[in-house]
Structure 1
Amino acid sequence: MSDAPDATPVYSYLGPIGTFTWEALRQVPEAAGATWRSVSNVGEALDDVTAGRSVGAMIAIENSVEGGVSATQDALATVPGLRIIGEYLVPVNFVLVARPGVRLEDVRVVSAHPVAYAQCRHYLESALPDHGHIPAPSNVAAAAGLLENDLAQAAVAPPGITDHHALEVLAEQIGDNPNAVTRFALVSRSLAIPERTGADKTSIIAELPDDAPGRLLEMLEQFATRGVNMSLLESRPIGDALGRYRFVIDLDGHIHDERVADALLGLRRFSPKVIFLGSYPRADKRQVEFVQEYGDEVFADARDWLRSILSGEPEA
């Protein structure tokens, strides 16, 4: 990618065209008119960003059914210099597609991305109790593969796949949970923090100092004692020894909120490693609620009180 100021910006996404990641990138106003680079996995997308080939990468970070996406969480913990600058929600449902002329009773093997397959298991086990499964790198790749080989007779794919490939729909709305949603994050190298909106989220990754009893409780108290709610808390193995974990945490609020900033200071004093992934507007635009005793002015008053004591000012 050219470094010239007028060069067309590039965004990376898990492709090809038609994936849920592609749908998420369509929600980014800055991506309109930009070049979209299709990649095969999260690692490749983040490599594009760190190498400067892309200004941003859209990656799946959490699913309402399956929870956090472990590949994304691990990559964000190990690839330095990345920031989340926005989040986007995409409703997730699936259709079962096949080559023209293939009937449901002809299906013996189904191609599907592992996450999609898990979310359609009830339907597949009911409609195709004896089927086999071939994992695919993406939902669209599963469908496209039907036209490239005969290893599978059907594929789990996103709605609208027939707009891009000459396939027929065998069944619609096959997802086990009709309300399933996947949360995507737009990741970049920009260190600029989006402005506080009042409907914000802050993402971090933290490690415990050791495995002494009560250490996890001590970490959680950094947030509880400052009135900061956690909307996500998941553990991932660090990988250097059994029993060693890092924690992926989403906080309600912005780093410019006094309660969040103070909690992060406390966490940094406690934890040997804290990775700040970013503060950014919530995709659902829901205003963050908090107890007024943890409002910005309370923290400001406490600092002023301490400053007056240290400076020798007489108490009012």
Structure 2
Amino acid sequence: MKRVTERRTYSYLGPAGTFTEAALEQVAEARGQDWRPVHNAGEAFADVLEGRSHAAMIAIENSIEGGVSTTQDALATLPGLRIIGEYLVKVNFVLVAPRGTTLDDVQVIAAHPVAYAQCHGWLGEHLPAHSHVPAASNVASAIGMLDGSLPVQAAIAPPGIVRHYDVDVLASEIGDNAQAVTRFVLVTRVSPPPEPTGADKTSMIVELPHDHPGALLELLEQFSTRGINLSLIESRPIGDELGRYRFVLDADGHIEHERMADAVLGIRRFSPRVVFLGSYPRADRQIVQYPERYADEVFVEARDWLRGILSGEPEA
């Protein structure tokens, strides 16, 4: 009997044509499955937690603007989520308008806030007197312009917008940085991490026990003393009072590696709250390098040595 494979649903910030959809297109196991466009990250996370979707693709970091705060805060406060992969999408934008519009006609522009921030230079040079109306996504900006729900004459959108909507492109490559990249993560409900590949990343969110001189240094030493590089350190306010922050951390390596497990245990003893977000393959597939003294077998040998001392075995 032929085995029937259960179909999976993947949520992403829609509608069709967004950079998030471009990230989801990189996920081999998502091809041919059901893709569910949503309006915001909260809806995507709810889909996963409530079982409507197997996974959700969410933007978490941009090379220009840094961390996506709504995603980081949701991961810090919503229990039951786990990152299983990351994907990079090169980002640039076009300025689009209804057919027949010229650049001289443009006074108000619709744009997602992150996209708008990445186009300040071009806008300041070519449309210095414009106003900005925020949109829910990079494609929603164009839809709102076309259906009249946003009172604008033009919209900042992804280049692929022309495949889906009847618009004129008033300008291309309007992003301030042609090398801009957005990092996306694929999020599921809590499950065992993917197997180590040698090119992995571990993400977590850590709160400091209390504010005192050297508190952050004590946190970072948990990694540096075990030869672990941190590729991301970003603070976010906890929100209960001024001066209280949590730290979003990306560490090179996998939780199954002895050095990473030892560091995470050290963090757990140190911090009143640790949110383990996942260990997963790096998007660039770059093998993680570390000094030989932090190899797994060194940690194992050290534990065996201590076990021998405690059991009264003579040292070799």
TM-score for both structures, normalised by structure 1: 0.97
Is 2:189 the partner of 1:189? Answer: yes
Deviations 1:1-52 (A, max 9, x none): xxxx854211110000000001001111111111111111111100000000
- Separation in structure 2 between the aligned mates of residue 164 and residue 252 of structure 1, nearest angstrom: 39
Alignment partner of 1:27 is 2:26: yes
- For the residue of structure 2 that corresponds to 1:254, the secondary structure is coil
Counterpart amino acid of residue 121 in structure 2: H
1:243 Cα deviation from its structure 2 partner: 0.7
Could you tell me which residue of structure 1 aligns to residue 143 of structure 2? 144
CA distance in 2, matches of 1:268, 1:276: 10
Map of 1:128-139 to 2, 5 A cutoff? 128-139=127-138
- The aligned residue for residue 70 of structure 1 is 69
How far apart, in 2, do the equivalents of 1:65 and 1:147 lie?
A: 29
What is the DSSP-based 3-state SS (H/G/I as helix, E as strand, rest coil) of the residue aligned with 2:268?
helix
Q: Look up the match of 2:9.
A: 10
C-alpha separation in 2, matches of 1:8 and 1:303? 45
Written as runs of structure 1 = structure 2, the 5 A alignment for 1:246-285 is: 246-285=246-285
Distance in 2 of aligned mates of 1:58 and 1:69: 13
Q: Equivalents in 1 of 2:62, 2:219: separation in Å?
A: 25
Moved more, 173-182 or 290-299: 290-299
| Structure-to-structure mapping, 1:108-123, within 5 angstroms | 108-123=107-122
Q: 1:108: how far off?
A: 0.6
Which contiguous aligned blocks of 4+ residues in structure 1 show a shift greater than 2 angstroms? Answer: 5-8
Q: Which moved more, 1:212-221 or 1:80-89?
A: 212-221
User: Residue 95 of structure 2 aligns to which amino acid in structure 1?
Assistant: L
- For residues 45-104 of structure 1, the C-alpha deviation after alignment (integer angstroms, 9 at most, x for no partner) is 000000001000000000000000000000000000100000000000000000000001
**What is residue 176 of structure 2 aligned with on the other side?**
176
Q: Which residue of 1 aligns with 2:163?
A: 163
Aligned to 1:244: 244
SS at match of 2:159: coil
Identity of aligned residues (%): 67
Report the Cα offset of residue 190 of structure 1: 4.0
| TM value normalised by structure 2 | 0.97
Alpha-carbon distance in 2 for matches of 1:65, 1:200: 23
- AA matched with 2:231: S
Paired position in structure 2 for 1:82: 81
Aligned to 1:48, the other structure's residue is in SS state: helix
Q: Partner of 1:56 in structure 2?
A: 55
Q: Quote how far apart the aligned CAs of 1:293 are.
A: 1.2
Q: Which residue of 1 aligns with 2:41?
A: 42
Q: Distance in 2 between matches of 1:177 and 1:60?
A: 18
SS at match of 1:263: helix
Return the alpha-carbon distance in structure 2 between the equivalents of residues 219 and 64 of structure 1. Answer: 25
In 2, Cα distance between the equivalents of 1:241 and 1:145? 38
Q: Which runs of 5+ in 1 are unaligned?
A: none
| Deviation at residue 132 of structure 1 after TM alignment | 0.7
SS at match of 1:192: coil
- The aligned residue for residue 198 of structure 2 is 198
In structure 1, what is the Cα distance between the partners aligned to 2:118 and 2:127?
Answer: 15
Cross-structure match for 2:221: 221
**3-state DSSP of counterpart to 2:139:** helix
- AA of the residue aligned to 1:162: V
Amino acid at match of 1:31: A
Q: Which runs of 5+ in 2 are unaligned?
A: none
CA distance in 1, matches of 2:90, 2:11: 21
Q: 2:129 & 2:66 partners in 1: Cα distance?
A: 28
Distance 2:113 2:247 in 1: 24
Distance 1:174 1:274 in 2: 40
